[in-house]
Amino acid sequence: MTQTPSSQRPDLVIFDCDGVLVDSETIANELLAVAVTELGWPTTTADSHRRFRGRSWQSTISIIEKETGRPVPDEWVQRTRETAHKAIYDTVTAIPGVADVVAQVEAARIPRCVGSSSQPDYLAHVLGRAGLDHHFGEAVFSASMVANGKPAPDLFLFAAAQMGHPPHRAVVIEDTVPGVEAGMAAGMRVVGYAGDPNTDGDALAKAGATVVTDMADVPVLLGLG
């Protein structure tokens, strides 16, 4: 862990999905790196993690268009999304230890939801495949539901409002810098998960998160240890 953790029990826990609940970031960024390179912007998997991880498709496309100086073809967007989603659907599993964390939050009767940059249909599929959907029910919120995706606070503020809890009493669990920045901008406490070797834990801490590398450390930070 990094930083001095708070163990105050929150009124709401908001889980990011990719990289926090489900193990999807590695394959997604491998495929995205290849696809972006095809557009004429040479991109490695490490570049993709650094530039695009945690961002919505709209934000990712905006970054690519700004760098290349030309519009991204609709066909490329559709093909890249379909290829990535198929690969993820075929391989996705829950992040090690996260099912226990969610179960402890549920057992403590702390309200919980998902706040993700991904689309609703994708979220429904991967949460189901990972066996986590029953913990959240309809409390799954997508960046497509708000005007601005992460790092803007819109999604987390929307999720807190929908769940009926003030932002300052919520904890966000995130694995990306845009996600941490969004949580901080929303006035929430943020736990940064850096269990993936491609995750820059120092960058998460610099953005304001209390960083863990093992999901088993999360319940203590939620006042459940």
Q: Give the model's pLDDT for residue 6.
A: 61
Half-sphere exposure of 91 (CA within 13 A, CB side): 12
Q: Are residues 68 and 86 in the same domain?
A: yes
- Candidates 34, 122, 118, 129; CA nearest to 90 is 129
* Orientation of helix 45-52 relative to helix 57-68, angle to 10°: 110
Q: Give the model's pLDDT for residue 2.
A: 43
Report yes or no on 7 lying in a domain.
no
- Candidates 185, 198, 189, 175; CA nearest to 9 is 189
Single out the residue in 91, 122, 139 at which a domain terminates: 91
- Candidates 16, 31, 20, 40; CA nearest to 159 is 16
Q: Which CATH number fits the domain that encloses residue 121?
A: 3.40.50.1000
Given CA atoms 198, 201, 206, 208 in this order, what sign does their dihedral have?
positive
Q: Are residues 19 and 29 in the same domain?
A: no
Helix (H) or strand (E) holding 15: strand 12-15
Report yes or no on 49 lying in a domain.
yes
- The 10 Å CB-count burial string (b at 16+, else e) for 8-19 is eebebbbbbbbb
Residue 60's domain spans which residues?
Answer: 25-91
Report yes or no on 136 lying in a domain.
yes
Q: Are residues 18 and 116 in the same domain?
A: yes
pLDDT, averaged in runs of 10, over the chain (225 residues) = 63 97 90 95 93 86 95 95 89 96 97 96 95 97 95 98 98 97 98 94 97 97 91
Single out the residue in 74, 91, 108 at which a domain terminates: 91
Q: Give the model's pLDDT for residue 25.
A: 81
Q: Are residues 61 and 170 in the same domain?
A: no
Q: Which CATH number fits the domain that encloses residue 84?
A: 1.10.150.240
Single out the residue in 91, 109, 141 at which a domain terminates: 91
Q: Give the model's pLDDT for residue 3.
A: 42
Cβ atoms 35, 209 nearer than 8 A: no
Q: Give the model's pLDDT for residue 133.
A: 97
The total domain count for the chain is 2
Q: Are residues 126 and 210 in the same domain?
A: yes
